[in-house]
Structure 1
Amino acid sequence: MMNTIGAAIIGCGAIAPLHARAIDAMEGARLVAVVDIDPVQAAQSAEDYGCEGLTDYRQLLERKDIAVVHLCTPHHLHAEMAVELLKAGKHVLTEKPMALDVPSALEMQAAAEAAEGQLGVVFQNRYNEPSVQIKAIIESGSLGKLLCMKGLVTWTRDADYYTGSSWRGRWATEGGGVLINQTIHTLDLLHWFGGGIASVKGSVTTDVLDEVIEVEDSAHACINFSNGVRGLFYGTNAYQTNSPVELELVFEQGTLQQRRDSLYLWQDGQETLLCGPQGSSTGGKAYWGTGHSRLIQDFYAHIREGCRFWIDGTEGIKTLELIAAIYRSSVSRKPVLQGSTPLASHGFSHLH
């Protein structure tokens, strides 16, 4: 009989229900406790999920019945919590971004390397069926060499979204704006598809909410990969609706396009549907993608098998470095080279 893995969730905000439902749907896993500094929120979530409600995450450190902790807290809290939990022997699965900035992420990675527990990062869009098929086509070479690609994210976030949460829209607590919060998944996919990065040139602006937030609501970048592929990226929270993410990858022998969570192949003058939208039993917003439950199941499977989870701190740091490069390029108006000091430094806020 499968041993039950006890779990806890820290942070009972918007993303926590996806984690709770994924744990509940999984054989051999049980949500033991939820934690939130707001006692009313903690109590309500505990009632919703049939578990304990706590207000201090340090109460989890000595708990033998809790092996996995899900971090669904504001960005600036991830690193400190993860380091303490890893040192206490817990497995940690953190929502994106893994940390507020690259130095904090490196501290988390160092703690994970010295710990018995694993550190996983939630880049759930890698589990969406279009993403899986795109990656397989790239690796198989069935369409020839990848030449270029683009990613477009046009979403909306109004003033209430930021004023309703004191940590959002602030460099010290969110670490950035649309880049580090909303479009990080698309940047992660471009990095995953393209491989190593040679240089990045980009810019950020605050087009609509400059009276409300310190951070950017729009960004674009030209990403030159080491293999010669060029990636173009545009993301904004200044649209007036949340449109589905769009991806396009051009190969020598055809073009892949992701539109409305469906993947199409354009080849020889014909368009073919390769896969359609995938349903999700864990709910959440449609434009988030549907990979949360699959990622969480896979994280637990790796723990059971004693294998290292593949979306770990190293993967999380790569995407944070890309974001840091866009911020720094925006200030310098010059390309930032992979491996140069600015790429691994803190983000935009310390550059003024």
Structure 2
Amino acid sequence: MAKKWGFGIVGCGSIADTHIAALKDIPGAKLVGVSSRGEERAAKTGEREGCFWTTDYKELLARPDIDVICITTSSGSHAAIGLDAVKAGKHVIVEKPIAMTAESAWELVRAARTKGVKLAVISQSRFAEDYQAVRKAIDQNAIGRLLLAEVSLPFYRTQAYYDSADWRGTVREDGGALMNQGIHPIDLLLWFGGDVTTVFGKTATQTHRMEAEDLGLAILQFKSGAFGTIMASTSFQPGFPSTLRLYGEKGTIRVQGYTIEHWTAEGMERPELAKAGDFGGAADPKAISSAYHRMQLADMIEAIEQDRDPAVTGEDGYRAVRLIETIYRSSKEGREIRL
């Protein structure tokens, strides 16, 4: 009989429900326990799922029947909880961002390497069929040398969203449109474009009462010589899907949300793909499918069983945070930054 891998979830907010739904669809996974600082929320989730619950996540880390910890708390706590989980010998899946600073992200990556456990950061967009097809086109040089890569995230969040918790919209605990929402297309940009050498960024808070930015812009140059642009906002009503545009010497690919809207790729016909579900989230952060989370959590199990790196590594999470941190620094200093 195949092993059932035990999962513990730290944090019982709305994104934890996405992880719980995903785990139910993975035959080799079992939810063993959950934790939340609030007793009522922890008890409600644990009793609903028929699993152990606690207000102290370290009780989950002490359980030998938990192999993997999913961290679904507020962003500012990801690194510290992740370090505790790694030191306890658990494999770790961290919701984005992996940490709020590149320094703390790298500390977590280094700790996981030293301990010999798997570390992954949630970037479920990579598992969508359309983005997998784009990756294949890049690998096969079907659009030729990349000239320009653009990502745009014209999302909308109400003031009530930021007022719903004291940590929302703060620099230390949540981040703004780049670190919170924009990190998904930024991860895709790095996945397709590779390492970045220079960054010029601008940020602003235009329509919300909050500490962090609700608009972030950047012009990049990749190591390959290609250029890139980033736009992320939570101010644009009513909210629209993110877009990715890749312009190469031989062709162009444009994706809106999770759907390819243009495909010119040498030797590759436009893929006809069955959808796992609309991801959503442009105007409502709770309106997302668990399908791609399921794929990523299943990948973590395979990575453990096959002793390979997860599809989205801690290093990938570090690179995204480092880029966003550099955009912030560039905006503050008013100059281009070389990485």
Post-superposition Cα deviations, 1:268-294, rounded to whole Å, max 9, x if no partner, equal: 9xxx75345722499985567952111
- Secondary structure (helix, strand or coil) at the match of 2:192 reads helix
Asked if the contact 2:280/2:288 (under 8 Å) is kept, the reply is no
Determine whether 1:253 maps to 2:250: yes
Q: Give 1:239's aligned residue.
A: 236
TM-score by length of 2: 0.93
CA contact (8 A) 2:148 2:247 kept: yes
Q: Which residue of 1 aligns with 2:141?
A: 141
Q: Distance in 1 between matches of 2:224 and 2:80?
A: 36
Deviation at 1:262, TM superposition (A): 1.3
Q: TM-score, normalised by structure 1?
A: 0.89
CA–CA distance in structure 1, aligned partners of residues 280 and 189 of structure 2? 25
Paired residue type of 1:312: T
Question: What residue in structure 1 maps to residue 275 of structure 2?
Answer: 278
Distance 1:326 1:177 in 2: 12
The yes-or-no answer on 1:206 pairing with 2:205 is yes
Deviations 1:152-187 (A, max 9, x none): 10111111111111111112222x211100000111
Equivalent-residue separation in structure 1 for 2:29 and 2:70 (angstroms): 13
Aligned partner of residue 302 in structure 2, secondary structure: helix
1:228 paired with 2:229, answer no
Partner residue of 1:219? 216
- How much has 1:259 moved relative to structure 2? 2.2
Residue aligned with 1:168, SS: coil
Please list every run of at least 4 consecutive aligned residues from structure 1 whose deviation after the TM superposition is greater than 4 angstroms: 281-290
Q: 1: distance between equivalents of 2:156 and 2:279?
A: 23
Corresponding residue number in structure 2 for 1:177: 176
1:153/1:243 contact within 8 Å kept? yes
Q: State how far apart, in whole Å, the 1-side matches of 2:69 and 2:84 are.
A: 11
Question: Distance between the aligned counterparts of 1:41 and 1:65, measured in 2?
Answer: 23
CA drift at 1:308: 2.2
Unaligned runs of 5+ in 1: 339-352
- 1:306 deviation in Å? 1.9
2:106 alignment counterpart: 106
Alpha carbons 1:262, 1:275 under 8 Å: kept: no
Tell me, in whole angstroms, the C-alpha distance in 2 between the residues paired with 1:157 and 1:250: 30
- AA aligned to 1:241 is P
1:275-332 CA-partner distances (Å, limit 9, x unpaired): 4572249998556795211111101111122222242221111011100110011011
Q: Any residues of structure 2 matched to 1:1-352 within 5 Å, and which?
A: 1-174=1-174, 176-209=175-208, 212-267=209-264, 274-275=271-272, 278-280=275-277, 285=286, 290-338=291-339
Contact in 2 for aligned 1:262/1:276 (Cα 8 Å): no
Q: CA deviation at 1:22?
A: 1.2
- Pair 1:283–1:138, CA change in 2 (3 A): closer
**Distance in 1, Cα, partners of 2:189 & 2:290:** 16
SS at match of 2:178: coil
* Secondary structure in 1 matching 2:81: helix
> Contact between 1:69 and 1:90, CA under 8 Å: does it hold in 2?
yes
**Considering only aligned residues, what root-mean-square deviation do their CA atoms show, in Å?**
2.0
Paired residues of 1:98 and 1:121 also in contact (CA < 8 A): yes
1:193 Cα offset (Å): 0.6
One-letter identity of the residue aligned with 1:203: K
* Cα distance in 2 between the residues matched to 1:184 and 1:157: 16
AA matched with 1:178: A
- Where structure 2 has 5 or more consecutive residues not aligned to the other structure, the ranges are none
